[in-house]
């Protein structure tokens, strides 16, 4: 007998109409590199999700923090002072293509960018993964829940950062449990099955 697929999670994952990849940049990678093996496995799952979405014609949105200091917008003699630091490069092999959407935000939640909210409001549901789960993915899942948008968190296509009193793996377990309060949680393999060609009526899982 094959592995049992939770039907509730399957239905939630199958509703994904957009893939959202968070902060797949080199600086985020180095900040989360406390457990390199787990992080690299997470990025491999990100690659699998991105390739699947491209093959399926599913739109992909990449999000990243906007560069700029806290003094941005301070007016001196009619001039705005803005710290225009260069964006960190995308992680090799995980770069957006010209057909993908890229959203910048100044807060952890992807909804901090109004254009992101406009897109998701039209689509209604999305899957999310990337760096870092305990911050960006959690904040986005909470905001999505408040708006009635359905989210599938790809737990193995995301990573968390170690904290002062907790290693990265422990933080990720807690983050996943918190996200589960606001979103469906699935593995990437599960999501790939759920968003592939729909099975014939009457097919059983488990």
- Averaged in consecutive runs of 10 residues, what is the pLDDT profile of the chain (206 residues)? 47 76 88 68 96 95 78 35 65 94 96 96 95 94 97 95 87 96 96 75 41
Task: Supply the pLDDT for residue 104.
Answer: 95
Token reading at 67: 């560069």
Closest to 17 (Cα-Cα) out of 205, 191, 136: 191
Torsion from C-alpha of 35, 130, 188, 5, nearest 10 degrees: 90
Cα-Cα end-to-end distance for the chain? 7
Phi, psi torsion values for 203, nearest 5 degrees: -70, 135
- For the chain, give me the number of helices (H) and strands (E)? 7, 8
Task: Supply the pLDDT for residue 86.
Answer: 73
Task: Supply the pLDDT for residue 69.
Answer: 42
Residue 158 burial (CB count, 10 A): 28
Q: Are 120 and 18 in contact (CB under 8 A)?
A: yes
């Amino acid at each position: 007998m094959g592995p049992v697929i939770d039907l509730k999670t399957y239905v939630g994952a199958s509703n994904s109409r957009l893939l959202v990849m968070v902060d797949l940049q080199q600086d985020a990678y180095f900040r989360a590199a406390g457990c390199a093996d787990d992080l690299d496995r997470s990025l491999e799952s990100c690659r699998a999700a991105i390739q699947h979405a491209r093959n399926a014609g599913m739109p992909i949105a990449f999000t990243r923090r906007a560069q700029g200091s806290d003094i941005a917008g301070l007016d001196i003699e009619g001039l705005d002072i803005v710290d225009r630091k260069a964006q960190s490069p995308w992680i090799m092999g995980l770069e957006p293509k010209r057909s993908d959407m890229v959203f910048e935000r100044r807060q952890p939640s992807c909804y901090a960018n109004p254009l992101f909210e406009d897109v998701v409001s039209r689509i209604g549901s999305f899957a999310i993964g990337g760096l870092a789960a305990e911050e960006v993915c959690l904040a986005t899942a909470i905001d999505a829940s408040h708006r009635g948008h359905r989210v599938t968190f790809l737990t193995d296509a995301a990573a968390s950062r170690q904290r002062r009193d907790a290693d990265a793996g422990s933080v990720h377990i807690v983050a996943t449990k918190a996200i589960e309060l606001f979103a469906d949680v699935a593995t990437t393999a599960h999501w790939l099955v759920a968003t592939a060609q729909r099975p014939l009526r009457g097919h059983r899982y488990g």
